Structure 1
Amino acid sequence: MEVNATQENEMRRELGLLDGTMLVAGSMIGSGIFIVSSDIVRNVGSAGWLIFVWAITGAITLVAALSYGELSSMFPKAGGQYVYLKAAYGRLVAFLYGWSFFMVIQTGTIAAVGVAFAKFSAYLFPEIGENNIILATGLVNITAAQLLAISTIVLLTWLNTRGVKNGKIAQTTLTIVKILSLGGLVVLGLTSGFNSEIWEANWHEAWTMMSWSALTETAAPVTGTAIIAGLVSAMVGSIFSSDAWNNVTFIAGEIRNPKRNVGLSLFLGVLVVTIIYLSANLMYLATMSLKEIAFAPSDRVAIVAAQKIFGPVGTTVIAVMVMISTFGCNNGLILSGARVYYTMAKDGLFFNRAGELNRNEVPGWGLWVQCVWASILCLTGRYGDLLNYVIFVVLIFYALTIGAVFILRKKYPGMERPYKAIGYPVVPFLYIITAISICIGLLLYQPTYTWPGFVVIVLGIPVFLIWNKGPKQ
């Protein structure tokens, strides 16, 4: 492998610092912040632990982003995490990441976010809901919601095949709108919607971990290993709600001054989202009791909060916000994902056509193959399960990538590093320990979230052996 960080000269460097930051924030903020706090409260049961789960997730995500900044400054080219893993561990590990990325991580997220868009659209237009079955077959039922999700994926894919400039305008605009909307909701919730009695009651036993029973809708204290199990289970939702922050590294080949702007975009984007997420959860605690958060209908805790603030119109307010949020999130995921397949194809580890640029100087074929597979996942109805299954794998690859900082410092000590990981070696090491600890916790307490991920990885090995026979670059 060539280790000098030569820049891709085939792609247009159209994206600046603001665009990169908005891609990070926009890819992170989907529908999770509007939903997953219900499940977190059911697992940890108190205000203090709810905020702790979101705070620790934000902290480890920020640490990872700071470490990725060093790697991005060394390899300011398309492909991001795939490129870093290849430099540190070789082609097999890099391919297994790219394989998981295409099969489930990126495309499964695109499918899930697309369906979330459709579900909340049904609040405004009930005829496009999940209950409207368009075609019933022996294997699957195709609903109006699935067709709407696929339509949005196709539309955003087409938009991004028209050039990175179109994608960046949509991404930056939608992300600014969603940040301002969420910020406005938080401010109103903490002012006009603030209920002092609920707030005080929620914080009365802030650090007593509880487990809420779905059958009785009551909470009971937990102790011992049940505390660890509760935390691990709770973090499944917060980690996925905070994921996709690394998408900006995939498009480094199209960012101006990438040695500076990629790392800075990572830091600023993650910081903004972490503040928003913590503020949103404080708003939930200011407007709703813990029981109301834990058992919000369909876990849509933000709708209950908005109804407290705005009255009956609150449902419409949140529906519109989630539609904007998920639409913008998917634009960022679609825009960045194809750049990984582009780099893999250049290495002879993916379909050759995915390594070609169209007349608009973007990987158009890669965008469309991503669109097709994400649409198929929409139709299976299993995209949500797939996302749960790969959280273990996602954390492993994050830990491996942070480990690449240590490996590459020894492997290429003289390589230019315009930006260095803050707090090295302590801070990156703490991230690796934390990620591994969560993985061990998942193995012990949530095994259904672990073994299917291994299956995805193992299935990639024979595929690698086939593709690796091709030309290597």
Structure 2
Amino acid sequence: MSESNFKPTLRLLDATMIVAGSMIGSGIFIVSADITRNVGSSGWLIAVWLITGFMTITAALSYGELSALFPKAGGQYVYLKEAYNPLVGFLYGWSFFSVIQTATIAAVAVAFAKFTAYIFPVISEDHIALDLGLLTISPAQLLSIAVIVLLTYINTRGIKSGKLIQTTFTLTKLLSLFGLILFGLLAFKPEIWQQNWSNAWSLQSRISSGSTSSYTIFAALGAVAASMVGSIFSSDSWNNVTFIAGEIKNPQRNIGLSLFLGTLIVTIIYMLTNITYTAVLPLNEIAGAEKDRVAVTASQVIFGPAGTLIIAIMIMISTFGCNNGIILAGARVYFTMAKDGLFFRKAGELNNNNVPGYALWLQCIFACAWSLSGKYGQLLDMISFVVVGFYMLTIAGIFILRRKKPDAPRPYKAFGYPVLPVIYIIMGLSFCILLIIFKPGYTWPGMIITLLGIPIYYVLTSKRVVELQ
């Protein structure tokens, strides 16, 4: 079956909910603790989220041109292939399948399970459900696998099923987050606010006991880059909507618009949520929140004893909807790669519900394996370098494609071109260089995973040549 069998059923609202819903998982509820330990002040906590938000919106505005130029399934994989060559596109697709998408699905599913344990303690990650000798499996991991399998099954039933879950859960979590922000600001504590913002721009290392240590200027830049690993993870997956272009009505208009609206909404929510944290919690409590669960600590102040339950339910809703969007979108990349002869052939087929069922189940298997491994968190830290690297390459592709295809119809052109795309590339390059210098452990594993795709690519292309002969 060909790509023309995809049915364009998603409206602008649906596409925007996929952008926002895929971005908001568990990160906003957790990573501010680590950011605060790295930067040590309220001003820089907000600045890290602002820098990440600016980069995300800038990238989204740039991707709008590419999505209008290539309004078909595959998104970023297609953009890289067209701008550079099939190898670069494949290396993205390989990294996407092996870690970026599947490990993210695992991480989000386990986060769902961990917070479900607040309501049903028997599901705790601290318990052992199965002891297989070399591998112990917790109830949380089993629940995470069940969630991945359930959402995969729902999405094999057709795009309408996935769309209904995505729109419903994303609207619910947006309203929930706005509610948290509103009640948080009503619980505003002037003495804590004054304490947190009295020395707002002192960039320093902070530990939960309250002690701080200053940085050299160069080390301070490294601290900001290390902090952004968490905020970038929390803001990632915004590009998932480009993977399902074949199922969006009027994709030339609606993909670019949904990218802008979705990333803008999430950036505003992230900023306000962190301002709320600083309005009710001293910085030491943000930095030292138990298991980094800042939102739980803040909610206990805002809502009292019921706060833990409220946040647990919010995160369950958030992560469930987030994973639905990621699972729905990811399989379309493997579908397009299979059509190019660069993935399992059956992944390039649509089932009776006009969705890539085989690709969905293959993604499910790998994501479940990452859930069992327990290594998804470290991998996502390691892959952030690669993710930003591919974003830079893709945005640079706009300049290349304007030269290669000057007469191609462009119903939408990148806003702020060439200034904003160049700013993104400079910021992304700075982030990557600082990680190489200060956090090399966050860089070389991701690079190795990506480069492993080179021999795989040549094996696949040589087999394809043999088959054609």
| CA offset digits 1:91-110 (Å, max 9, x no partner) | 10000000000000000000
Cα distance in 1 between the residues matched to 2:411 and 2:29: 38
Report the Cα offset of residue 353 of structure 1.
Answer: 0.3
Report the Cα offset of residue 8 of structure 1.
Answer: 4.1
Cα distance in 1 between the residues matched to 2:24 and 2:381: 18
Q: Which amino acid aligns with 1:307?
A: Q
| CA offset digits 1:76-118 (Å, max 9, x no partner) | 0000000000001111000000000000000000000000000
1:195 aligns with 2:189: yes
Confirm or deny: 8 A CA contact 1:77 1:253 kept in the other structure: yes
Corresponding residue for residue 355 of structure 1: 348
Corresponding residue for residue 26 of structure 1: 21
| CA offset digits 1:242-292 (Å, max 9, x no partner) | 000000000000000000000000000000000000000000010000001
Q: Could you list the structure 1 runs, at least 4 aligned residues long, displaced by more than 2 angstroms after superposition.
A: 220-223, 469-473
Confirm or deny: 8 A CA contact 1:348 1:470 kept in the other structure: no
Structure 2: gaps of 5 or more residues: none
Identical residues among aligned pairs (%): 61
Confirm or deny: 8 A CA contact 1:12 1:254 kept in the other structure: yes
- The residue matched to 1:326 in structure 2 has which SS? helix
Report the Cα offset of residue 66 of structure 1.
Answer: 0.2
Report the Cα offset of residue 138 of structure 1.
Answer: 2.7
Q: TM (normalized to structure 2)?
A: 0.98
Structure 1: gaps of 5 or more residues: 1-6
Confirm or deny: 8 A CA contact 1:25 1:245 kept in the other structure: yes
Which of 417, 424, 427 in structure 2 is aligned with 1:434?
Answer: 427
Which of 289, 293, 303 in structure 1 is aligned with 2:296?
Answer: 303
- The residue matched to 2:188 in structure 1 has which SS? coil
Confirm or deny: 8 A CA contact 1:74 1:259 kept in the other structure: yes
State the Cα RMSD in Å: 1.1
1:57 aligns with 2:52: yes
- The residue matched to 2:129 in structure 1 has which SS? strand
- Select between 132-141 and 28-37 the one with higher mean Cα deviation: 132-141
Report the Cα offset of residue 471 of structure 1.
Answer: 4.2
Confirm or deny: 8 A CA contact 1:46 1:202 kept in the other structure: yes
Cα distance in 2 between the residues matched to 1:466 and 1:364: 25
Corresponding residue for residue 4 of structure 1: none
Confirm or deny: 8 A CA contact 1:64 1:431 kept in the other structure: yes
Report the Cα offset of residue 313 of structure 1.
Answer: 0.6
Cα distance in 2 between the residues matched to 1:457 and 1:246: 19
Corresponding residue for residue 48 of structure 1: 43
Cα distance in 2 between the residues matched to 1:33 and 1:306: 13
Cα distance in 2 between the residues matched to 1:78 and 1:139: 40
- The residue matched to 2:213 in structure 1 has which SS? strand
Q: Which amino acid aligns with 1:199?
A: W
1:367 aligns with 2:379: no
1:148 aligns with 2:148: no
Cα distance in 1 between the residues matched to 2:207 and 2:254: 47
Report the Cα offset of residue 26 of structure 1.
Answer: 0.2
Which of 405, 413, 418 in structure 2 is aligned with 1:420?
Answer: 413
Confirm or deny: 8 A CA contact 2:207 2:287 kept in the other structure: no
Corresponding residue for residue 205 of structure 2: 211
Corresponding residue for residue 339 of structure 1: 332
Q: TM (normalized to structure 1)?
A: 0.97
Confirm or deny: 8 A CA contact 1:58 1:274 kept in the other structure: yes
- The residue matched to 2:133 in structure 1 has which SS? coil
1:81 aligns with 2:76: yes
Confirm or deny: 8 A CA contact 1:347 1:471 kept in the other structure: no
Q: Which amino acid aligns with 2:59?
A: A
